[in-house]
Structures are given as structure tokens and as C-alpha cells.
Structure 1
Amino acid sequence: MPPLSARWKITAWIMVTTLALLSVVLVTAGTLLLRDVETRANSDLAQEADEFRTFAAEGVDPATTRPFTSIARLLDVYLLRQSPADGEVMVGVADGAVLDTVRGQFPAEVGPSFFTTLLATPETAGIVDTPAGELRWGRVDVDSTAGAGSFVVGAFVDTGRAAVDRTMRTITIVSLLGLVLTAGVAYLVAGRILHPVRTVRAVAADISESDLTARVPVAGHDDIAELAETFNAMLDRLEAAYTTQRQFVDDAGHELRTPITVVRGHLELLPDDPEERGRTLALVDSELARMGRIVADLLMLAKAEQPDFVVPRPVDVAQTMLDIESKVQPLGERRWHLMEIAEGTAWIDAQRVTQAVLALAANAVEHTADGSTIRLGSRFVDGGSSPRSLSLWVSDDGPGVSPHDAATIFERFQRGATAAETTERRPGAGLGLAIVRAIADAHHGAAWVRSVPGDGATFGIDLPTEPVSVREMRDGDDRKERM
């Protein structure tokens, strides 16, 4: 037997709960209504008895305005004034006989003469079983100068109970119809609620190891929408991790293929001459070192996708810039000029920022000759409506970057036309600027280049000076103020 779907399980639980609740309501309502019939019957009997006592105590015949001359007359006058409720009967008994003035509808099984049997009991009220059902009765005896007699009032409660049964049958039928309607509504609502879940399942089924682009459509702002957003965020992370892994494998395979081929070819043809062998081993060592640098750079770019790649904290920008200035000196025989220093504090990862600026400085060294001037500096930039940022830059007087190359120079393994023409001077694989951009992106900043071909180039990064959470909170406050 196949398992029930979540939709049917939800519908079933709603039905069971509703049925249990309806059962409790019906039993409780029936019990209260039956009890009300009995209570109302007792109350009506007591009320009729009290009214008769009051009338008998007055003892004035309305026709003569004088006291009643007989008990039969008193009972007849009172009975003619009464309007019994449904199931209620009233009789008068004088001299041991039931008077003709009888009020109420007597059942066929029980006549007025039945009430004479109640005169012999010492009780003035009680409950008796009759062929017409249970009878609740009350008696008021009168003994005055007009004579002796009794007023007897009774209530056949089965009449009220039958009305309760009819009412409960009607309520039960309506409840069953409502239960069926509830089942239909529950089935439809459960389907609508579970539709996004089915969509998530369908998307998960469509995802393959090579295609992670499918996403769940998000509608509304409820828990299901949050589930879809969380699922999409998970897919984003998986796709990013897969893309990074695939790109790492592709890049490693592409870039390492050439040095591996060179190393293998030279080792296979390793000469016996010691001098030639030495040159070959030196070349092999150089290629292996280049392979090591490529692998290290690729691992760095792969790590840049991790959330802990940068750990921002408050940093003294001036001191960081002075440290960078001292570290660029050994990169090459250049005239290093520190043009400006930003003074203040910024939330940045000092080690990563230093790594990025050193990469820009190394790039400037690669594209300039010995003795050239390389300038570097940092400044705070007030963006007006935008948050304040920290800009760090390195400028050289090399051949510059063409507009076409400037659009792609921060991509992996992309080198400008000038660099491609002089690769023998620069053993890198074109990953340095990609690492610079990865560091800027991890800070939620940007990497940039400004250049006029033939007149040098300026590379830099712009970084926010506050944590992302603080900026988002401030932006939210600004939006509230504008509203």
C-alpha cells in the first residue's frame, strides 16, 4: 500500500480533529438542551403554582367583585385565564372530581381523570411515568370558606425532549455537511500550501551534477516563501562552490599542462653532459616553481569564495600604508614615492589589503624598467549620498593599458597586449590582478584601473570603511527618514 501524501495527511488530521470537536459539541449541546427542558418544566410548574396561590389568596370573583362562593368557581375562573405552554396541562379538582375546565392538550393515552390519582399522595409535587411518557407535576391544595379543592399542573417533558431530538438531528445533518465542506476546503488549502514544497521537490529532481541553475519561484512572505528563499540560497551556495571547483580544475588543467609538458620533455631528453644537465635541471626547477606559484594563486582564488576569506576589523590606515611602503621596496629597483596617506580608521582586513596592494605594486614592477618611478597612496573618499570609502592606488609610467584590455584585465589568466608581447620578462600566469579583485569583492568594494595607452596606468581598490551590517542599518534609517 503506497504511503499517504502530505496533502491527504493534512486533510485527514483536519477531518479527525473537526469530527472530534463536532462530536463533543453535539453531545454537550444535547445534554444541555435536555437539561434545559427539565429545568424549564420545573420552573413553569413552580411559576403556575405561585400564580395560583396568589390568585386564591385574593379570593375575589371578578364578575361580582365579592369573594368566591365556591371552590369550583375559583378554579374555573383561574383556569380560563391560563395559556399553557406546549406539553403543559392544568386541571382543577373540587369535591374529588375533575372540573370540565381543563387547560392544555392531553395525550390520547392520558386523560384529565389521571390527575385524581395524584390527590391521594402526600407529596405536592413529583415525577411519574405515564403511557405518554414522563410527567412532572405540582399540586396546590385550597381549603377556604368557599370549600376545599386542588389545582394540579403537569408537564409532559417528552414533548420537549422530542423537540430537542429534532433539533439535534438537524444540527447533526448540518454538521456532517459542514464536515464534508471542510474536507474539500482542507484538501484545496493543503494543496495550495504544499504547492511550493512540490515545486522545491521538482526543482531538486531537475538539478543535475552539471546544472545547478534551477531555482524555486518565490511568492509571498510566509514560512513557505522563506523555505523557498532558503532553498534558493542553498542552491546559490552549491552553484558557487561547484563553479569555483570546476573553474579551479579547468584553470589548473589549462595552466599546468604547458609546464608539465616542458618538464616531461626535458626530463625525457636529459643529456649526459653535466653542463647541459645543469641547464636542463635549472629550467625544470624554474617551471616547477612557476607551477607552484600558479597552484598557490588558484588556491587563493578558490579560498576567496569562502565567507572567512577576509576578517575585517578596525585598522589604522596610516600605519598600514607605511607598512605597505616598506614592503614594496624589495620588489624591484624602482623609485618608490608615497604620495598621500589617509589618516583614520577603517574596517578592513589589513593582511588581505596589504596583499592586494603588493600585487598591484608587483604588477607595476613587471611593466616598468629599472629606475622608473612608481607612486602609491591612499585617501578617504566621501561619496556624498554613498557611504565613505577608502581608496588605495598604485601608479606607474609604463606602457599603460588599452581600453579593450582594461575591461578584462582583472579576469583570470587575462594579460594585456603589452604583457603578452614580453612574457619572457614576467613568469606569472595572469592571476595577480584576479586576486586583487577577489580581495576587493570580499570587502564589498571594487578594483579599478585608469590608463592612457603609452602614458602609464593607475590601479587601485575602493573599500568601504564600515562593516556591512552598520552600513545596512544606516541605509535603513536613512530610508525611514526619507519616508
Structure 2
Amino acid sequence: MLYLLLLLLLSAVATPIFMWLFLAQVNQRVRADLIDEMADFQAAYADWESDQVRSVAELRQFVDEFLAKTVPQDDNFLIFTIDGTYYRSNPQVLPAIMQPSSKLMGYWALQTQPLSGERTLSDPNIGDILYLVQPLELEGDVRAVFISAHATRGEREEALAGVYLFFWVAAGVVIVAFAIAWIITGQLLAPVQKLATTARLVSESDLTQRIAVKGSGEIADIANTFNDMLDRLQSAFVSQRNFINDAGHELRTPITIIRGHIELLGTVSREQQETLDLVVDELDRMSRFVNDLLLLTRAEQPDFLQLEHVALPAFIEELFQKVSALADRNWRLHRPQSGDLVADRQRLTGAVISLVQNAVQHTRMGDLIELGAALSPALNPTTVRLWVRDTGTGIPLSEQERIFERFARLPNRYRRSDGAGLGLSIVKAITEAHGGYITLSSTVGVGSTFTLVLPLHPSLRLPSSVQEASAPREAQ
């Protein structure tokens, strides 16, 4: 459609230029005709004058004979004036602008030198007047004037009719050609469109989409190559998922056995007890790591969420009671007046607590940590926002995308983190399983705000366009 509009715009610009050039050629041809008529007259007059000395009476007779045997072209006028006054013309009926008493006729009759010119008129029935003037001498004195004039209306109407016909025919041809090209291009690019659609549908949790390949050729080769790539990706993701799942289950058993044997040990020395405490602490950390891995693999399963109706005010109040005892911070609650959503209460609780623990690790005593929730009628009437805001160290802009990746960890100036870098990736997985997305606004030295944007029901998944428009990563 853009190309059609561009073509129409170029046509709109080119048409007046083409018309101007075409009319200029018409005027040039008319002037050439006038010059030819003037040359014919001059040749006839030279033959007549060369025979003998002529009188005015004989000049009148010559003019009568010349006009009688000369047939002017359409819209051409052959006019004679003698001794400063109109004498005769062919055709005899003249336009108002060239009447014997008109100013133009008087102007012509007084000329003593050859003259060519154009008179622009406002009369649409005549157009412009192109003319040539030739004074005639008898015995050395100018006694008469011959005028060859042309009214341009007829020529220009014919020219404009041709231009308009050409324009409409060309426009029709262009539109038909564009329609045919549109259809053919659509058929040729249909596999490419299917390729783009399939690419948009592909995600880490759904690699089953494929392009139906028909026929052969370059487009079919691209589609086959794309399908082969998806096969390899799906195989790699399935292998990775199975490995993580199997490794997680295999690791849980020895961890449980080792912990059980440690708990069965009897009385030990102080040094041995310190070693056992260290081993138990590492076993707990590894157990949490294994559980996190298994949680990430289960997040892609359809039964990952156990949905129920959640009253937002009571839910956020309950969360605040749990997290406010985690550390000595300046805790603040933003409690909504009303609101309900359908969600997995336990998963959502774990996601928010993980964000709060992250805020605790990057703040000091007395720093602000705010937990809040609100419906989002301005953003989307079917969404709710849960956020955790702190006044801690903040996150560099260059790291704000990476921290949501698995095993991503940032240096912490306040305390050593015991996690494996899976916390935020788990929060993201839980949020996306609910059909929502997570946003981050952070400034180094000012603090960070993590916001979970969730639909009121997971079936109302937020479109990617909304997520991209509403989830900027830049620091505020």
C-alpha cells in the first residue's frame, strides 16, 4: 500500500509538469504554423511587388485575391490593415479581442517592424492569442500590415483531452498492475509470512511449531532449513530439561542419605561438630539449589499452577507479616482497598518473598523496603501489579537484563549471597506461568523496584506488545 501511495504522489507531481511541457510543445507547433503561413504570404507578396510599382488600390486587389485562395487552419486568422485601419480578414468573423475597433487591432495596425508575440486572455472560449505581424511597404512607406494570429483554445483542449485520457488509462493500468503484483507477491511471500508467524509462536516452552512446506524452490528451502533448526533446538532443549530433571532427582537421594547419616551420629567433639555443621549447611544449600532446578523444569508443565481465587488486600497483608521479620529494615506496606485475582497462592507467595529476600541482601539496617499491590486500570483494566521497592545499592543498567538469566549473580557489598543465581529466573518463570511479566526500574545508589504485572486470570495472557510497551528496563 505504501508503494501505491508513493506512486500516486509521484503521479500527482509529474502530471502538472507533463501538462506544462505538452502545452509548451503545442504552442511551439502553433508558432511554427504561423511562421509557415507568414513565409507563404511573404513569398506571394514578393512576387507581386517585384513586377512593377504598385498602388494602394492594387494592394487591395492583391489582398482580396490572397484571402480568397488561402484557407487558414482551424483557429487561425489572417488579417490585413491598410493605412492604419482594419481592411479585411479570413475568416471574416473575428473574436471580440480582434475586432476592428479593439485595442489589439489598433496596436497591430501601427506596427512598422516585424513582430511576434502572445496575448494572454481570461476568456476561456478563446484562450491565448499567438501572433506574427509583418508591415508591408509601398514606395518605401509602410501602407499596410499583415497579421497571422491563432487562438489556442482548440489546440489546448485537444491536447488536454489527450493528456487526461493518457492519465486515466495509465492510472488504470498501474492500479491493475499493482493489484496483480499484490496478488502474485502475496502468493510468493506467503511462506515467508508463515515463517514469521511460526517464529513469533516459538518459545522455550513451545518448540512444536513447524511450517507446512509445499512445492520446491528457494522459499521451500528456507522453510525446510527453519524446520530443521527447530528440530535441533527442540532436541537440545528437551535433552537439557531431561538432564536437569534427572540430575535433580539423582542428587536429592544422596543429599538425603548423607543428611540422615549425619543426624544419626552420636556425641562428637567440638571440632567435629563444627565440621558437621559446615557440612549440613552446604547440604542445605545444595538441597535448595536442586529444588530450584526442579522448580524451573516444572514451571513449563501445564500442571505447574494450582489456581485459586486470591483476595488481594488479605494476600498482601499476609505477605507483609511474613517478610517484615526477615531483617531490621524500614518496612512499608501499600495495601489495596479491594481486588481479586486467580493465581497459585503458594507460587506467587514464593515469588514475592524471593524479591523481598533479594531486597534485604542489597540494603542495610534502616533502608526502606516497600511491599505493595494495586489494580492497574490505567495500564490495563484486567491487570494487577505487585511490587517490591527498596533504597539499596541499585543495579547498573548494563546488568538489568542479565540478572533474570539463570545463574546470574551480582556482587553484593553488604553480605555474601548463598544462592546459585536462580532466584530471579524462578520469579520470572512463575510470573510468566501466570501470563504476566516482570519489570525492573533501578538506579545505582538510589534503589530498585521490581514489579510483577499479572492478569486477573492466567487465561488472560498479556500480549507481547503490551509487555514491550509497558515494561521498560531503563533506570528511572
Give the TM interval when normalised to the shorter protein. Answer: 0.3 to 0.5
Q: Give the TM-score of the pair, scaled to structure 1.
A: 0.43
Q: Which has the larger radius of gyration?
A: 1
**Highest relative contact order (Cα 8 Å, sep 6+), 1 or 2?**
1
